[in-house]
């Protein structure tokens, strides 16, 4: 049964209104492992050519005694508690397929893992998308997004291309906490993202544990979900009108609002660094000089900056950033597609005959 190798490419997404905090067990959450967010979020899926891509091959086979996972060529320890939590999503798929057959998952990221660029989002969405095909499951993207969310919250947004809203939902079982595309990748064709890498170091506090600490200890966080919810509504309406001025202002204020709650956490979580701060000042200065929003910066759980702008202003922003010392690399991205199924001959990461990772 099975033994069919499926390979997909998936892309990271960039939240422009952020998810930072899960619901705790209670009336609106029956199990914290469901990864139910405190607020809705809004993202764009990123396309930086081959630079920000997760390629993943999955096969289920009776030959396997255990699940195996290789990330960037390295076999991962399946006893790792965080990995086990993430694989709950795969377990859920297996349940739907009424099977106990184990899987081999081989995944390669073309960007630095755990550096604040969302590799877990593209990774989990690639794995779950590929696994659903390998199991021959015919389920809606909405259902797939519900399952992917269990592996990683932000990953449920990477199942779609373009502009995506992940609705908070109200149900304690999480069946209405799913992502949906609101516009496809061609909708706002001159939107660009300038990504500035300021470090390649692994972050000190993982998003998963960081957001838990924030929800538990930050007083400021008490007002965050309502602010974020309002920001999702406003940015959706700005996107609908392609009103970049409003769009950009919401992006910057939402990112800073989330980072304020991180800093208000006990002990404080400070993801941005001195270079990030210089980038903020440089973009603010450029916007001031031009008398309009030229660029809008945002930061995730790390110090790398993403600056959203229109195509006509990309060079202006890059020139301005030349005054900032310490930026290691600048990449340009567009709004991209959701996961793509690759045909067998498009270099699978699993040897089709031996069912082992290709060396």
Contact set with ligand 2P0 (CB under 6 A): 15, 18-20, 35, 41, 118, 120, 152-154, 207-208, 300-301
Exposure of 18 in the CB half-sphere (CA atoms within 13 A)? 23
336 vs 357, beta carbon nearer ligand 2P0: 336
Q: In angstroms, give the least distance from the CB of 15 to ligand 2P0.
A: 3
Q: Is the distance from CB of 191 to CB of 335 less than 8 angstroms? A: yes
Q: In angstroms, give the least distance from the CB of 34 to ligand 2P0.
A: 10
Q: In angstroms, give the least distance from the CB of 348 to ligand 2P0.
A: 27
Q: Is the distance from CB of 294 to CB of 247 less than 8 angstroms? A: no
Using CB positions, name the residue nearest to ligand 2P0: 153
Please provide the DSSP assignment of 174-207 as one string.
-TT--EEEEE-TTTTTTEEEEEEE---SPPSS-H
21 vs 248, beta carbon nearer ligand 2P0: 21
45 vs 57, beta carbon nearer ligand 2P0: 45
Match 């838990």 to its residue by tokens: 212
Pairing, β 68-71 against β 102-109: parallel
254 vs 278, beta carbon nearer ligand 2P0: 254
User: Which residues contact residue 77 at a Cβ distance below 8 angstroms, ignoring those fewer than 6 apart?
Assistant: 83
Report residue 129 as tokens.
């998308």
Report residue 244 as tokens.
């970049």
Q: In angstroms, give the least distance from the CB of 148 to ligand 2P0.
A: 10
Rounded to 5 degrees, φ, ψ at 294 are -90, -45
208 vs 332, beta carbon nearer ligand 2P0: 208
109 vs 154, beta carbon nearer ligand 2P0: 154
Q: In angstroms, give the least distance from the CB of 61 to ligand 2P0.
A: 27
The Cα–Cα gap between 264 and 258 comes to: 10
Q: In angstroms, give the least distance from the CB of 257 to ligand 2P0.
A: 11
């Amino acid at each position: 049964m099975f033994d069919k190798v499926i390979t997909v490419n998936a892309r990271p997404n960039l939240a422009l209104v952020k998810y930072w905090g899960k619901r705790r067990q209670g009336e609106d959450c029956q199990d914290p492992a469901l990864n139910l967010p405190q607020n809705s979020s809004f993202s764009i899926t990123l396309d930086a050519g081959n630079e920000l891509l997760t390629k993943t091959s999955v096969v289920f086979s009776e030959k396997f005694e255990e699940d195996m996972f290789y990330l960037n060529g390295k076999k991962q320890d399946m006893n790792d508690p965080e990995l086990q939590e993430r694989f709950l999503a795969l377990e859920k798929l297996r349940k739907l397929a009424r099977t106990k057959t184990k899987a081999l998952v081989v995944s390669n990221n073309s960007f630095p893992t755990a550096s604040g660029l969302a590799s877990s989002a593209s990774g989990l969405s690639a794995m779950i998308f590929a696994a659903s095909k390998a199991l021959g499951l015919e389920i809606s993207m909405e259902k797939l997004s519900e399952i992917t969310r269990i592996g990683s919250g932000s990953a449920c947004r990477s199942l779609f291309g373009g502009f995506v809203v992940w609705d908070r939902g109200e149900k304690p079982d999480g069946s209405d906490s799913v992502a949906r595309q609101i516009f496809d990748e061609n909708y706002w064709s001159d939107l660009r993202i300038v990504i500035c890498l300021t470090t390649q170091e692994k972050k000190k506090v993982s998003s998963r544990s960081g957001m838990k600490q924030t929800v538990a200890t930050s007083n400021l966080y008490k007002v965050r979900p309502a602010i974020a919810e309002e920001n999702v509504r406003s940015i959706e309406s700005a996107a609908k009108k392609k009103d970049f001025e409003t769009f950009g202002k919401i992006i910057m204020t939402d990112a800073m609002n989330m980072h304020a709650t991180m800093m208000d956490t006990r002990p404080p979580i400070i993801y941005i660094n001195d270079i990030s701060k210089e980038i903020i000042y440089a973009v603010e200065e450029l916007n001031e000089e031009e008398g309009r929003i030229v660029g809008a910066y945002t930061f995730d759980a790390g110090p790398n900056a993403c600056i959203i702008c229109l195509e006509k202003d990309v060079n202006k922003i890059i020139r301005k950033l030349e005054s900032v010392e310490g930026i290691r690399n600048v990449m340009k991205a567009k709004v991209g597609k959701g996961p793509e199924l690759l045909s067998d001959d498009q270099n699978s990461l699993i040897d089709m005959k031996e069912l082992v990772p290709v060396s």
